[in-house]
Amino acid sequence: MPPSDIALPGTPAAPATAPVATSSRPPRRPRRMLVAAALLLAALAPGELGAVTRELMVDAYLGVSVFVAATLLLFYGAERVFRFDIGDTLRAARWSQVPIAALMGATPGCGGAVVVVAAYSAGNVRFGAVVAALTATMGDAAFLLLATRPDAAAVVLPLSLVVGVVSGWLIDRMIGDGLPGARGGACDAAPRIGRRRPRDYLFLLIAAPGVIVGGADLLTVDIAALTSPVVPLALGLGGTAMGLWVWAGSSLHAMTNPADAPVTRMAEETSFISVWVIGAFMAYEYAVAFAGLDLGALFATIMPLIPLIGILVGFIPGCGPQILVTTLYINGLVPFSVLMGNAISNDGDALFPAIALNPRAAVLATLYSAIPALIVAYGFYFLAPGFMS
């Protein structure tokens, strides 16, 4: 799995009058470089280790990463074209502030929830909006679910949105305008890369045909038979290597600065997410292929506690543990109730800026999300145990 230095995300852009940090030269990331080198060596290893690693890298890239890249490019491109001040919009909203915040949180990735947390720090939203956004968000795990189980995503994301809205409205009714000390904070922007880098366009050049191959695979079209087995293999491994290059030399922790070009933001964030996806795939595949663990039998012995475990994992900051839970669901090892509980309880990368700006608010928002997570998760566990299995 990726090292701890990638866990802390950047935060949304500061007001236009605030200075923006700019990355003037590539940073030295020795731990990231070691992780990238270890992954590439595992892919080049002879025998079963290399074969398993190459296969999971191709699956991760063509099954998840290319769709993440397409989604982010579309989202950030539209954001650049239809630019508006989300802080002013949220501050002007009244009863609709919570639904807007929940909708931003439910957007795949962590960006929307982070923006709401920053707006709370600046005094633009009430605490209920923060609870709504953090409850509704599934973080980067949503990209993995959309790419592999869109039928499940069609249930998880809207249901998380509804739960987030209800939770936010209830919190606003109970505690009013917010918590003491929640106003007047500042939220620094993530370091701005600024320059247009050739590697970002090279990343896009590989991802574009990858979307076609990945889409064909979703439609059960055998591209390898129509062209050559080398095509998906070359795209998958080439795209993975490209992503590791971008990630290992990145000046960012996860989020990107809104002032950067959409293609740069896409390359940076897709690379970050891809490393976590590869790590989750490796954890599962290696446990089965090399450790001989029967995860299905292991989970079956503690099945009544599994939804609770999924919720508790959601309390862990960052998207990596949540991607692992989603991977277990995709492979049929945990029921839908676990996925649903984790989706509601987890805050993704948005929890990091929340902790930095207001620890009390962050802890309370996370604890509040546990209540609907328990209700929904165990509701599915007892009333619809085989749902979306």
What is the model's pLDDT at position 100?
93
294: Cβ contacts below 8 Å, ≥ 6 apart:
none
Residue 23 identity? S
Q: Would you say 243 and 270 are in contact if contact means Cβ atoms under 8 Å apart? A: yes
pTM: 0.72
Distance from C-alpha of 44 to C-alpha of 148, rounded to nearest angstrom? 26
Domains held by the chain: number: 1
Instruction: Evaluate whether residue 33 is within a structural domain.
Output: yes
Residue 66 falls inside a structural domain: yes
pLDDT at 272: 87
Does residue 36 sit within a domain?
Answer: yes
End-to-end alpha-carbon separation of the chain, Å?
Answer: 27
- The span from the CA of 32 to the CA of 212, in Å, is 30
The number of angstroms, rounded, from the C-alpha of 315 to the middle of its chain's C-alpha atoms is 14
Residue 192, strand partner residues:
22
Contacts of 239 by beta carbon, 8 Å cutoff, 6+ apart: 61, 62, 65, 66, 203, 206, 207, 210
- Asked if residues 279 and 1 have their Cβ atoms less than 8 Å apart, the reply is yes
* Pair of tokens at residue 219: 């439609």
149 found inside a domain: yes
SS3 labels along the chain = CCCHHHCCCCCCCCCCCCCCCECCCCCCCHHHHHHHHHHHHHHHCCHHHHHHHHHHHHHHHHHHHHHHHHHHHHHHHHHHHCCCCHHHHHHHCCCCHHHHHHHHHHCCECHHHHHHHHHHHCCCCCHHHHHHHHHHCCECHHHHHHHHCHHHHHHHHHHHHHHHHHHHHHHHHHHCCCCCCCCCCCCCCCCECCCCCHHHHHHHHHHHHHHHHHHHHHCCCCHHHHCCCHHHHHHHHHHHHHHHHHHHCCCCCCCCCCCCCHHHHHHHHHHHHHHHHHHHHHHHHHHHHCCCCCHHHHHHHCHHHHHHHHHHHHCCCCCHHHHHHHHHHHCCCCCHHHHHHHHHHCCHHHHHHHHHHCHHHHHHHHHHHHHHHHHHHHHHHHHCCCCCC
- What is the model's pLDDT at position 155? 96
pLDDT for position 180: 47
Q: Is 340 exposed, middle or buried (0-12, 13-18, 19+ CB in 10 A)?
A: buried
**Which residue type is seen at 373?**
A
10-residue mean pLDDT series, the chain (389 residues)? 38 40 56 93 94 93 87 81 70 84 87 77 83 91 88 96 95 72 50 86 95 84 83 94 93 78 91 88 84 76 90 84 90 93 87 72 87 96 89
Q: What is the pLDDT at residue 8?
A: 36
At residue 245, the pLDDT reads 94
* pLDDT at site 85: 61
Q: Which domain holds residue 245?
A: 4-383
Three-state SS annotation for 208-255: HHHHHHHHHHHCCCCHHHHCCCHHHHHHHHHHHHHHHHHHHCCCCCCC
Q: In degrees to the nearest 10, what's the CA dihedral of 54, 59, 65, 67?
A: 150
Domain contains 177? yes
Quote the pLDDT of residue 298.
75
Angle 267-268-271 from CA coordinates, rounded to 5°:
80
The answer to whether residue 197 is domain-embedded is yes
Report pLDDT for 257.
80
pLDDT of 28: 59
Task: Identify whether 389 is part of a domain.
Answer: no
CA distances to 110, 127, 139, 212, 234 from 87, in Å: 17, 14, 21, 37, 44
240 falls within a domain: yes
